[in-house]
Amino acid sequence: MARRSSSQIMSFVDFVTNNLFNIVILLGIIALILYIFSTPKQPIIVLPKENFSSCTQNEENEGFESGNDEVEMFRNAVSSGKPVVVKFYAPWCGHCKKLAPTWDELMKEHPGKVIKVDADKNGDIAKEYGVQGFPTIMVFKGGKKVNDYDGPREKSSLQKFISQL
């Protein structure tokens, strides 16, 4: 093997130090290319039609709406002719989360008279009745909005209000 002279070694060292930035960039590009091509591809998941059995096609815009028990419960309850207290809520709303356990108890104690509607999922209903904040509590009778509830949100106050209907 031929021995390299010190001048050859010095010229190589000079080349590397003078072009260090370019060498680092080039090595980075090579590393990125190797990473991209060595990363395993994620499999494509195909969802069967059975996953969408609870959806119905909306002819108006050819989109899909999920079958929603809250909408049916709301429509049936407000059209019954009896007074119904409805809480419009949003799952992300802190005040709604705080009121949820109380409202669930009231729903159990007054089935069909106290209901709730997720305004995020059922925006058309919330918009129809002018819901702008959460939670919004309204009273319906005979298919029409009769009153908004603006009182305290404790169970005793709500219980008293419901019993007066």
In a domain, 49, yes or no: no
- Which parts of the chain are beta strand (E)? 55-58, 63-66, 84-89, 114-118, 136-141, 144-148
User: Is there a single domain that holds both residue 72 and residue 34?
Assistant: no
Decide: residue 64, CB within 10 A, 0-12 exposed, 13-18 middle, 19+ buried. Answer: exposed
The model's pTM is 0.58
Structural domain count of the chain:
2
Please identify every residue annotated as catalytic.
Answer: 93, 96
Amino acid type, 164 = Q
Nearest to 138 by CA among 121, 156, 119, 102: 119
Q: Domain residues for 110?
A: 68-163
Tens digits of residue pLDDT in 123-164: 888 999 999 999 999 999 988 999 999 999 999 999 999 998
Q: What is the pLDDT of residue 143?
A: 84
> What is the distance between the alpha carbons of residues 25 and 67, in angstroms, rounded to a whole number?
56
Tens digits of residue pLDDT in 51-79: 555 554 444 434 344 446 778 888 888 88
Q: What is the pLDDT of residue 57?
A: 45
> What is the distance between the alpha carbons of residues 15 and 7, in angstroms, rounded to a whole number?
12
- pLDDT of 21 > 70? The answer is yes
Q: What is the CATH number of the domain that holds 151?
A: 3.40.30.10
> What is the distance between the alpha carbons of residues 9 and 85, in angstroms, rounded to a whole number?
89
User: Is there a single domain that holds both residue 86 and residue 125?
Assistant: yes
User: Is there a single domain that holds both residue 157 and residue 90?
Assistant: yes
Tens digits of residue pLDDT in 78-118: 888 899 999 999 999 999 999 999 999 999 999 889 999 99
